[in-house]
Structure 1
Amino acid sequence: MPVSPRTEFNNGEAAMTDAKIKATQEANKVALTANPAGGIATAVLEATIGEGLACDVSDGTNATLIDMPETFGGTGQGPTPGFHARAAVAACVAIGIKATAIREGLRFDEVKVRVEMDFDDGALYGLGENTAAPFFTRLVVDLKTKHSEVEVAPVIDLALETDPFFLALRDPQQVETDIRII
């Protein structure tokens, strides 16, 4: 299984401690309680394709290259959009669970989230009765912890009910498209 490199930061420390994470999260909660409007934001990201299907994506700070495999007409220069969508859900849920556990005073030594999505690839070409959207998604959450399932379950429930990408996947939302010829 490929392992992604981690960038060292914070004077060579690879990760923040649970105490620092909890203090940061609690400070955010206090600030947002005092000023709820401070939590309203719009995230903007742009994807640009010229020749072929390789797509440069940037939010002005972070950038990545997304492509399709040769079997779809791409060159496989980067992961697919589906990889990034599943990665966003898996990472957001894993981070949300870990952060919620820390805020609630539980220690999770490891959180692993696997996302499994079922598709009808024919729908990408307008074939069949299904839409191109996943028709079934499963999340498998593995935890290394000394806490019991009775202690863990409410923390997981709270984490999922406050997780942006889990909710974006689960709940209907308003989506607007503005087509402009430039």
Structure 2
Amino acid sequence: MTYLQTPPVTETARDRVIREAQSAVVERIRADPAKARSTLRTTGHVGEGLACEVVQGPFSATLDLGKGMGGDAAGPSPGFFARAAIAGCVGIAVKMLAAREGVRFNCVDIAVETDFDDAALFGIGGGNAAPVRTRVSIDIDTDAQGDIVESIVDRALAMDPWFLALGNAQDVSATVSVAR
């Protein structure tokens, strides 16, 4: 984690909006914790070729592999979106917690590096196709003191769903149906 020092900056109007919105959510959840539970459904469709059209609510994305893997490079790979989810989730979690606590983070930059055993992807060798190691680095531009920044980042990571999904085992299941 790197801290870039800048002159003191007071809370911006945008940070105030973030803080107020987050505080309202926290109060709603405290009032009725059961409402904090949810299930999101995302669907994907792979037709001709390898491109996968993914939809969740009003949002959609195209995932594909490069030509070297038999795809058409119609969109980024699934791994891109996995790393993007981690980078986005970590960055947003850190920034929103800072704003909620009234600490100005001018910007948060995240890098996600993942090591793979590509042979395992094809069932070659005894390795595992899951990522071997993932490193997340967080650079923050702020005038806040390092111990305050560390505390915010540590707490944000302890509450961040996709950062936690990297390291914590979870119940994952799959069902299969066949249409003829």
Q: Structure 1 length normalisation: TM-score?
A: 0.90
Match in the other structure for 1:24: 21
Deviations 1:77-114 (A, max 9, x none): 10000000000000000000000111122110010010
Residue type matched to 2:46 in 1? I
Equivalent residue for 1:36?
Answer: 33
- Partner SS for 2:112: strand
Q: Secondary structure at the match of 1:19?
A: helix
**Matched residue SS, 1:117:** strand
Give, in angstroms, the shift of residue 147 of structure 1.
Answer: 1.1
Residue number in structure 2 paired with 1:111: 108
Percent sequence identity is 41
Letter in 1 for 2:27: V
Q: Does 1:62 align with 2:41?
A: no
Higher RCO, 1 vs 2 (CA within 8 Å, ≥6 residues apart): 2
| Residue type at the aligned position of 2:176 | I
Q: What is the root-mean-square deviation in Å for CA atoms of aligned residues?
A: 1.2
3-state DSSP of counterpart to 1:101: helix
1:89 match: 86
Asked if residue 135 in structure 1 is aligned to residue 135 in structure 2, the reply is no
2:120 and 2:55 map into 1 onto residues whose CA distance is 28
Unaligned runs of 5+ in 2: 1-12
**Letter of the structure 2 residue corresponding to residue 148 of structure 1:** Q
Q: Aligned partners of 2:65, 2:174: CA distance in 1, in Å?
A: 23
Measure the CA separation in 1 of the matches of 2:95 and 2:19.
10
Query: In 2, distance between residues paired with 1:170 and 1:109?
Result: 28
Q: TM-score under structure 2 normalisation?
A: 0.91
User: Which residue identity does 2:89 align to in structure 1?
Assistant: C
Shift of 1:144: 0.3
* Letter of the 2:155 counterpart: L
Q: State how far apart, in whole Å, the 2-side matches of 1:42 and 1:59 are.
A: 12
**Number of residue pairs aligned between Structure 1 and Structure 2:** 168
Structure having the higher strand fraction is: 2
Question: C-alpha offsets along residues 3-47 of structure 1, whole Å, 9 cap, x if unaligned?
Answer: xxxxxxxxxxxxx70001100000000000001111100010011
Residue in 1 that maps onto 2:151: 154
- Please state how far the C-alpha of 1:55 moved relative to its aligned partner: 0.7
Per-residue deviation, 1:60: 2.9
Q: Which structure 1 segments of 5+ residues have no match?
A: 1-15
